[in-house]
Amino acid sequence: MELALSPDQKLFQESARGLLEQEYSLDRVRGMEGSELRWSRDWWRKGAELGWAAAVVPEELGGGSVSGEGVRDLAVLAEELGAGVAPGPVLPVNVVLAGLVAAHGRGPDHGERIEALVAGETIATWAVYEPGREWTPADPRLTAAPADGGYVLDGVKDRVQDAGQADLLLVTAKTPDGVAQFLVPAAAAGVTISEQWTVDLSRSFGEVRFDGVRVDAGALVGAPGADEIIERQLQIALVVQCAEVCAVLDRAFAMTTRWAFDRYSFGRPLASYQALKHRFADMRTWLEACHATTQAAAAAVQAEAPDAAELASVAKSFVGERSLPILQDCVQIHGGIGVTWEHDLHLFLRRAVLDQALYGTPEDHRLRLADLASL
Amino acid sequence: MTDSTMESVESFRARARAWLAENMPPRDGSLPPLVEDDAHEWERARELQKILYAGGFAGICFPREYGGLGLTFAHQQAFTEESDPYEMPLLLNMPTFAICAPTLLDMGNEEQKRERIGAAIRGEEVLCQFLSEPSGGSDLAGLITRADRDGDGWVLNGAKTWSTSAYAADWGLCLARTDWDVPKHRGLTMFLVPTKAPGVTMNRIRMVNGVREFCEEFFDDVVLPASAVVGEVGGGWTVASSQLFHERNAMGGGSPYISGRGEARTMPRVNPLNVAAASGRSDDPRVREMLGEYLTLMRVHEQTAERVTRALETGVLPPAAASMLRLLHAEATQRGDDLALRIAGANAATGTGPSEGVGGRTAIGYLMRQGGSLGGGSTEMSRNMISERLLGMPREAAPDRDVPFKQVKRGR
C-alpha cells in the first residue's frame, strides 16, 4: 500500500472494490470448481470502464491513469484483487498492453488492438511458459519460421492465464533473428487450447498448442531481438503479483490478529501470550517490508528507472519468499480450523503459492539479481 | 535559527572546501588490522578536532555561546559532503557529539553546557555514557547503582557495563538510583562523572571478535559535587530518554551534530559480496543465489527504513513503529553473516598461513552474529514494543510497575 493515496486513487480503489465485492464474495470464490468460467466478459467490460485496462496505456493511445502514474495505479488495483482473491485477467491484459505500448512505433501498428483491449472488448494474454520448463522467457523453444512474408509458429505454451477466454495470445517465439513476440488470434487455424489444473480456485490457465500456425508480418510486436519489451512485460507482471500478495498478506494478517484477540485459552486471549506476540511482531515487520519493496518497485517501473529491473526482482524475491511463511504462521495460529476448506485462509494461501511460482520464482530472481549486479 | 547575518550554505560550503583542501589530511581508505591498541587513534581524533576548531569548522550546529557555530543542519550536511575525501575525527561522533553533548544541551545547566560542550568541540575532552549494568540489560530503569547524599554532594557506588569507548573518555553521563522509595523510573538521577575520579575502576571488555571497544566500570565511594547532577534530582529518566532519542536519531541519519561520514575503526566486516569475490566462488550458482538473497535483503532494509521514517514523520505510524526497523536491521545483518559463512565454505575453518584471511574474518564475524540482535536493546524488547504498542496486544506482566523500587524482587 502507498502511505497516502490521492483522492483520485481512492476513488479508483473504491470503485474497483465495489465491483469486486458485488460479484465475488469469498464464499463464491470458495465454490469455484472444475471448468466453470471464473469471470464473464460483461463483468470485465465493467472493469474496463473503471480503467482496469487503461493504466499503462498513454492517453494518445486511448488509455490513461487516474494519478498520471499508471503503474502505481495498477498496483492499487492489484491490491484490491488480492484482498478479494478475485478472478479476472488484470495481470495478462495489462502485461500484453505494456508490451504493445513499449513496442509502439517500433514495428507493425497495433493501435486498434490496444484500443479494443483498453475498452475491455478484447481479451489478451501472454503465452510465455513452455511445458516442463522453468522461467526462461529469453529462450523459447516454440519456433517462428519466416515464410511467404509472414511466419509459421510451431510449439507448445502452457501456464497461459485465462487462455480459454482470450481473443489474442502474445506468444514468445524463437526466430532466426532472435526472440520475437507475435500477437496471434486464439481462433487462428492450428491453435488448440486445453484447460490446465491450477492451485488457485479463482484463476484459470490453459495449454496452447501451435501446429503450423500462419501469421502475417503484421502480427509481430516490435522487432525480433527486442528483449527490452519482454523485460517491460515482466516488470509489470511482477508489480501486479507483489501488490496482490501484499494485500493477501494484509488480509490474512488482519484475520489472524482479530482471531488472537477473540480466541481465549486458559482464560486469556491468544494475543496475551508472548510466544505468539513475538511472531505477530515479526509478521507485522515483514508485512511493512513487503509493502516498502513493492512500492519501490512500482515507482521504479513507472519511471522506467535504470534500476527498475533490479527493484522488480528485489520485490519478487522478497515478497514471494516471505509471503509463504507468514501465511503458514497465520494458519498455525488459527489451529486446526486453518487447514479446513470452510476457512478463508487457504484461498489466500493458494493465491500466494501461485504468485510466488509464476514469472520467476524467488530463487530465479535472486540469480537474476546477481547477474544484474554483474557479480 | 536563521538570522540575516547567517552565512549562506553555499558560501559556507565553498569556504569549507577550500579550507579542507588546505588543512585536512586525505582519508586513509585501507582496512585497519583486526586487533590493535587504538590509543593513538584517539590521540589522532583529538588532534583532528583541534584542527577543525582552529579553522572555525567545529561544532557546526552547536550554539555559539557553548563554543559552536550556531549554524543549521544544512550547513552541517554541506560540510559532511565536502569533508568526505578527508580524514575526520569520526571517533568523536559517537557518543560524544551525537548523544552526550546534545543531551547536555537539552538538560544540562549553564556551566555544564559551557564547559563540557565547549571542551568537546575544542578537541580537549571526550564524553561517554554509563547506563547499562551487569545486573540487567533490557530493563535499564531497573538499575541498582546508587548515589547517596553526603552533605551537599553525593557518593556513588555500583557497577556499569557496555559503555562504548569509555576508556578514551574524560567524562561519563552516569544514571544512578537516588530514591529507593518511589517506583523505578522516578528514583533516578543523572550525574556527570569524571572517568579518572578516585574510586572509578575501569576494564575493557574483550569481545569474541577481539574488539575491545566496550568497558565495564566499578564505582567505590566516588565523591561527586552537587554540580554533577544533570537535570533534576529524581529526573534521571528524562535525561536518559533524551540520550536514547539522540541515539536513535543518529542511527537513523537525522543527527545534526555528527560531522563527517562513515564509521570509525569498527571491525572491518566482511559481507557475502566480498567473501564471494575473495574466494573466487562468484560463478557457482549456489553462491550466486545467496548473493541475490543478500542484495535483496539489503535493498529491502533500505526501502523499509525509508518508508517507515516517512510514516513516522507524517504520523501515519506511531513512534513504536521504529522498532520494526531495529528488528529488520538485525535480521538483515544476521542473514548476511549466515550467507557469508556459507559462501566462505571450507575457507572459514583455517586462515591462509598464520593470518586469518577473508575466510577467517568471515568466521570471526560470524562469532559476533548475535551482536546484531543485542546491541542497542535486544530484539525481544523490539518484538514486545511492536506487539504491544503497534498492534495493541496486552502488555507483559510487570510486578515492578508502580511499586516502590526497594520492594521489587531482584536476582542475585
Sequence-ordered list of residues with C-beta below 8 angstroms from that of B284, at least 6 positions apart, any chain:
none
Interface test mutation site (partner B, options A261, A272, A274, max chain B beta carbons within 10 A): A274
Per-residue model confidence as pLDDT tens digits over A189-214: 999 999 999 999 999 999 999 999 99
The lowest-confidence range among A264-278, B138-152, B240-254 is B240-254
Who among B299, B307, B383 is closest to A314 (CB)? B299
Query: Which among A134, A197, A127, A125 is positioned nearest to A162, based on CA atoms?
Result: A125
DSSP run (H or E) holding B247: helix B236-251
Residue B36's pLDDT is: 61
- Put simply, whether B319 touches A (Cβ < 8 Å) is no
Q: A288 vs chain B: nearest CA distance in angstroms? A: 7
Whether A358 and A159 have beta carbons less than 8 Å apart is answered as yes
Reduced to 3 states (helix: H, G, I; strand: E, B; else coil), residue B80 is helix
Who among A260, A268, A285 is closest to B327 (CB)? A285
Find, in chain A, the residue whose alpha carbon is nearest to that of B326. Answer: A285
Which residues of B are less than 8 Å from A285 in CB distance?
324, 327-328, 386
- Hey, what's the cell of B252? 537513523
Distance CA B116, CA B127 (A): 8
Q: How long a stretch of residues is chain A?
A: 375
Q: Using pLDDT thresholds of 50, 70 and 90, give the confidence band for residue A79.
A: very high
B318 phi and psi angles, rounded to 5 deg: -75, 165
Compute chain B's Rg from CA coordinates.
23
Q: Using pLDDT thresholds of 50, 70 and 90, give the confidence band for residue A45.
A: very high
Per-residue model confidence as pLDDT tens digits over B77-96: 999 999 999 999 999 999 99
Are residues B291 and A373, on separate chains, in Cβ contact within 8 Å?
Answer: yes
pTM: 0.92
Reduced to 3 states (helix: H, G, I; strand: E, B; else coil), residue B326 is helix
Q: What is the DSSP string of A12-45?
A: HHHHHHHHHHHH--HHHHHT--TT--SS-HHHHH
Match 476513488 to its residue by C-alpha cell: A11
| B129 DSSP β-pair partners | B173
Who among A257, A365, A375 is closest to B291 (CB)? A375
Max avg pLDDT among A231-240, B30-39, B361-370: A231-240
Per-residue model confidence as pLDDT tens digits over A314-346: 999 999 999 999 999 999 999 999 999 999 999
What mean pLDDT, rounded, does chain B reach? Answer: 92
Sequence-ordered list of residues with C-beta below 8 angstroms from that of B277, at least 6 positions apart, any chain:
A375
Encode B304-348 in three state secondary structure. Answer: HHHHHHHHHHHCCCCHHHHHHHHHHHHHHHHHHHHHHHHHHHHHH
- Hey, what's the cell of B378? 535486544
Are residues B292 and A368, on separate chains, in Cβ contact within 8 Å?
Answer: yes
Whether B381 and B389 have beta carbons less than 8 Å apart is answered as no
In the chain, the amino acid numbered A194 is S
Distance CA B132, CA B98 (A): 18
Residue B268's pLDDT is: 61
Which residues of B are less than 8 Å from A280 in CB distance?
386-387, 391, 393
The HSE-up count of residue A157 (CA atoms within 13 Å, CB side) is 34
Q: A297 vs chain B: nearest CA distance in angstroms? A: 10
Who among B292, B307, B388 is closest to A3 (CB)? B307
Q: Using pLDDT thresholds of 50, 70 and 90, give the confidence band for residue B267.
A: low
ipTM value of the model?
0.95
Distance CA A166, CA A271 (A): 47
- Put simply, whether B400 touches A (Cβ < 8 Å) is no
- Put simply, whether A117 touches B (Cβ < 8 Å) is no
The answer on pLDDT for A155 being more than 90 is yes
User: What is the pairing mode between strands B171-177 and B188-194?
Assistant: antiparallel
Are residues A280 and B314, on separate chains, in Cβ contact within 8 Å?
Answer: no
The answer on pLDDT for B35 being more than 90 is no
Interface test mutation site (partner A, options B304, B379, B380, max chain A beta carbons within 10 A): B304
Q: Angle at Cα A358 formed by Cα A355 and Cα A362, nearest 5°? A: 80
Q: Using pLDDT thresholds of 50, 70 and 90, give the confidence band for residue A34.
A: confident
- Put simply, whether B346 touches A (Cβ < 8 Å) is no
- Hey, what's the cell of A370? 546477481
Average pLDDT over residues A52-79: 96
Q: Using pLDDT thresholds of 50, 70 and 90, give the confidence band for residue B217.
A: very high
In the chain, the amino acid numbered B335 is R
* Residues of B forming the active site: 247
- Put simply, whether A294 touches B (Cβ < 8 Å) is no
Are residues B292 and A365, on separate chains, in Cβ contact within 8 Å?
Answer: yes
Residue B1's pLDDT is: 45
- Put simply, whether B380 touches A (Cβ < 8 Å) is yes
Distance CA B335, CA A85 (A): 32
- Put simply, whether A367 touches B (Cβ < 8 Å) is yes
Q: Chain centroid to CA A85: how far?
A: 12
Match 573518555 to its residue by C-alpha cell: B169
